[in-house]
Amino acid sequence: DAGVIQSPRHEVTEMGQEVTLRCKPISGHNSLFWYRQTMMRGLELLIYFNNNVPIDDSGMPEDRFSAKMPNASFSTLKIQPSEPRDSAVYFCASSLDGWREKLFFGSGTQLSVL
């Protein structure tokens, strides 16, 4: 079975450029989560969707970050404009339904903003 699929695996960009990260959750999963991982702050939840609707976006750092889930099989996380402090590994995870269910993580996107 295919797990959570993220693309790209690596992204190197210059400060000020727009970055779009993509995620395909596991088929049949109703909940999708975007996390950011850094050495300093560990794993932080950015936003959580349930049935394609954003439920909690309190972790989104600022207006430069936006996330969409146009359908049950696709989500994007966009950073515009990007800054060096956005450099991190961004993970997408999905679950059958909400927090009580087990979260399955993708392999992540390693983002470097120069």
Partner 1 sequence: GQQLNQSPQSMFIQEGEDVSMNCTSSSIFNTWLWYKQDPGEGPVLLIALYKAGELTSNGRLTAQFGITRKDSFLNISASIPSDVGIYFCAGQLKGAQKLVFGQGTRLTINP
Which residue from 13, 25, 28, 19 is spatially nearest to 91, judged by alpha carbons?
A: 25
User: Rule CB under 8 A: which of 56-75 touch partner 1?
Assistant: 56
Contact predicate 54/65, CB 8 Å: no
**Alpha-carbon distance 50 to 94, whole Å?**
10
User: Rule CB under 8 A: which of 6-65 touch partner 1?
Assistant: 33, 42-45, 48, 55-56
CB of 6 to partner 1, least distance (A): 8
Which residues would be at the binding site for partner 1 (CB under 8 A)? 4, 33, 42-45, 48, 55-56, 91, 93, 98-100, 102-108
